[in-house]
Structure 1
Amino acid sequence: MLALTRKKGESIVINNNIEISVLEIRGDQIKIGISAPKDVPIYRKEVYLQIQEETKEAMNVEGLEALENLF
């Protein structure tokens, strides 16, 4: 993991086409802005993990149904 220090109004650039900016700092919360191409999905980590889990569960169910149909 790369750890960087940024102040309000400063940014970092990833892969020449994604910019992450510090918009606001209020107490222990930081508001960030992300500029990226529309084809780049951006999720909060808790949402991303939930999507992965639901996909995994759906694949398990579909896989069992496909096996049942074979027999």
Structure 2
Amino acid sequence: MLVLSRKVGEKLLIGDDIVVTIIDSRGDGVRIGIDAPRSMKVHRAEVIEAVREANREATDADDAAEQRLRDLLSRRDADTPEPPAPGTPPATDA
């Protein structure tokens, strides 16, 4: 990781077409401006991680719901008698 010191108003160049400008410096943080092509995605890491975690939770919930449905269907199938084979006379209660 490259670590740099910059003052308000100073810029960093990343490649040929990304410029990061230090906008403001406060006691607990720094405000930056990013000038990049529209085709370049720029996201805060914590937002991306929150979306990934939400997707994981949704997938886990889907998996759990699917398993519950499979369990219900297998119980229903176990409680339902097999239909008679074709050509077999119907069963009679005697």
Q: What's the TM-score once normalised by structure 2's chain length?
A: 0.56
Deviation at 1:29, TM superposition (A): 1.7
Cα distance in 2 between the residues matched to 1:29 and 1:52: 25
User: Over residues 12-35 of structure 1, what are the superposed CA-to-partner deviations in whole Å (9 max), with x where a residue is unaligned?
Assistant: 010111111100112222110000
Greater C-alpha radius of gyration: 2
**Could you tell me which residue of structure 2 aligns to residue 48 of structure 1?**
48
Judging changes above 3 Å, is the alpha-carbon distance between structure 1 residues 39 and 60 closer, same or farther for their aligned structure 2 residues? farther
Report the CA distance shift for 1:54/1:23 in structure 2 as closer, same or farther (over 3 A): same
Aligned length: 71
Amino acid at match of 2:47: V
Q: Which runs of 5+ in 2 are unaligned?
A: 63-94
Question: What is the distance in 1 between the residues matched to 2:52 and 2:16?
Answer: 27
Higher RCO (CA < 8 A, seq sep 6+): 1
* Structure 1 CA distance for aligned equivalents of residues 49 and 40 of structure 2: 17
Q: Judging by fraction of residues, say which structure has more strand.
A: 1
Question: In structure 1, how many angstroms separate the alpha carbons of the residues matched to 2:17 and 2:58?
Answer: 33
* Moved beyond 2 Å, runs of 4+: 50-62
SS for the counterpart of 1:9 is: coil
- Tell me how far 1:59 sits from its aligned partner: 6.8
Unmatched runs of 5 consecutive residues or more in structure 1: 63-71
Cα deviation for residue 50 of structure 1 reads 2.2
The 2-side partners of 1:13 and 1:38 are apart by 16
